[in-house]
Amino acid sequence: MIVQNENGLTRLHRDFEQIPNSDGLDDWLRVSAFPSYRGFEFANAYFRADLKAALRDFGPQLVIVDPWNNVTRDSMEKDFLEAFERLREVMAEVPDAACLILHHLRKPRSEDRHRGRSLANLLSGSYVLVSFCRSVMVMQPASDDTEDARVVLTPAKNNDGELGKRTAWERKAGWFEPVTDFNFEEFDSGNAKREPKVKEEHVRQVFKDERWQPRSKAAKSLMEIASVGRSCAYEALKWNGPFSEILSEHPTNDDWLGLKQSDSESEANASSESEQAS
């Protein structure tokens, strides 16, 4: 049973429709609708009574609470302790069930270099949360690219066994698939300076045969030449972006751009145009 305050019914319906072989899930899975504009109300005895009744009726083996920061309004130790007491009261209705809490990491800082076990320190209110939970799994985006759907899953705590290795996954619509060729060395470099994916020779190659092109056409060519995503290509082709010294917007059409000409090229073109006019 997933007790959630993250997605509306329309989003849930769309995601579950795309899960392959999803027939029969109704017998195994329950997902709560968006509770109310106030979200979870574990402090309200009536809310807890309704949730207990739902648990007794369905008898789940796993209860997922998403997200934890909607159960407790603050990250102070007192708030966490009270929230855990209320959650334990509810979970007592299904004593053999496990409970999975989804919680957000705190805002990243420039000095953060956490790996492995130390990732547990990134949880908001981590002292109380980590001490109560038997296991902690940390999920992080594989990169800052908005089109990169991959994530890295790291076991940071496991009281009942070995931690195991971290793994990489690609997010699909409602499920995840393993990534077997993930570059963990690149992921670990974090904020370290990396060689840009798009280079000047890539941009020049785009305009090799046509000096002026629609931005959309140039971006499509750059994606193929440099093997980058759409957002990365458009970022590289901004007139004030990383290649502003060689790129120029069309004088009469803002949707077109091309390569700037050197002084010698401009003189040669001017001479050619003059001869044609003569």
Structural domain ending residue among the three candidates 47, 75, 104 = 104
Calculate mean pLDDT across residues 31-49: 82
**Percent of the chain clearing pLDDT 70 (strictly above):** 85
Residue 75's pLDDT is what?
A: 66
Count the domains in the chain: 2
Radius of gyration for the chain, computed over Cα atoms and rounded to the nearest angstrom? 27
pLDDT over 70 (residue 122): yes
C-alpha to C-alpha distance for 55 and 50, rounded to whole angstroms? 9
Structural domain ending residue among the three candidates 82, 104, 126 = 104
Residue 2's pLDDT is what?
A: 93
Residue 263's pLDDT is what?
A: 44
Nearest to 97 by CA among 64, 135, 133: 64
| Ranges 25-29, 116-120, 228-232: which has the least confidence | 116-120
Looking at the domain assignment, is residue 278 inside a domain?
no
Structural domain ending residue among the three candidates 55, 89, 104 = 104
Looking at the domain assignment, is residue 209 inside a domain?
yes
Q: Cis omega before residue 67 (within 30°)?
A: yes
| Residue, of 264 and 241, whose pLDDT is higher | 241
pLDDT over 80 (residue 174): no
Looking at the domain assignment, is residue 189 inside a domain?
no
Domain ranges, residue 23 = 2-104
| Ranges 119-123, 193-197, 241-245: which has the least confidence | 193-197
Total residue count of the chain as it appears in this document: 278
Q: What is the CATH number of the domain that holds 76?
A: 3.40.50
Q: What is the CATH number of the domain that holds 254?
A: 1.10.10
Dump pLDDT digits (tens) for 176-225.
899 988 888 888 876 444 556 889 999 999 999 898 999 999 999 999 99
| Residue, of 14 and 51, whose pLDDT is higher | 51
Sign, Cα dihedral of 80, 83, 88, 89: positive
Residue 271's pLDDT is what?
A: 46
Rounded to the nearest 10 degrees, the angle between the axes of helix 77-91 and helix 45-58 is 40
Sign, Cα dihedral of 180, 185, 188, 193: negative
pLDDT over 80 (residue 113): no
Calculate mean pLDDT across residues 103-129: 71
22 is written with which tokens?
Answer: 């999803």
pTM: 0.62
Looking at the domain assignment, is residue 18 inside a domain?
yes
